[in-house]
Amino acid sequence: MDPAPYKRVFTRILDGFEPIAYLTIAFALSVPIVMLVVSAAMTMLKVAHFGVLETVLALIAVVRRILLLTAGLEQAESMEKFQNMVIELGVMTSLVIVLTIALYFTRRMRLSDPTL
C-alpha cells in the first residue's frame, strides 16, 4: 500500500489547521497587550489626577538629556570629552532610576492615604 495518499491527507489537514492556529495565537497575544495598554493609561490618568506633574516633567527632561548625550557621543572630539559625556550619561541614568522610584512611592503613598 502506498503511503503517499495518507501524507497528502495529513498535509491538507495541517494546511487547514495552520490559519486557525495563527489566529488563535494572535488573539491570545493581543488580549494581554490590550489589557497592558489600558492598565498603563489608567495608571497615567491616576498619577495625573494626584498631581505629580513636577516629577514627571523632571523625568522627561532627564530622558531628553540622555537622548541628546547619546546622540552626541559619536561627535566627541577628544577622549576626555567622551569620558565626561559617559560620566554624565551614567549620572543621568541614575537620576532617571531615582526619579522613577520616587514617582512610584509618591503614587503608592497617595493611593494608600486619601488625605494627601
Q: Report d(CA 29, CA 12) in Å as an integer.
A: 26
Distant-in-sequence contacts of 75-78, Cβ < 8 A, 24+ apart? none
For the chain, residues with pLDDT lower than 50 are none
Q: Are 81 and 44 in contact (CB under 8 A)?
A: no
C-alpha cell of residue 67: 537622548
Q: What is the pLDDT of residue 2?
A: 61
Q: What is the pLDDT of residue 20?
A: 92
Q: What is the pLDDT of residue 102?
A: 76
The pTM (predicted TM-score) of the whole model is: 0.45
Q: Report d(CA 94, CA 54) in Å as an integer.
A: 18
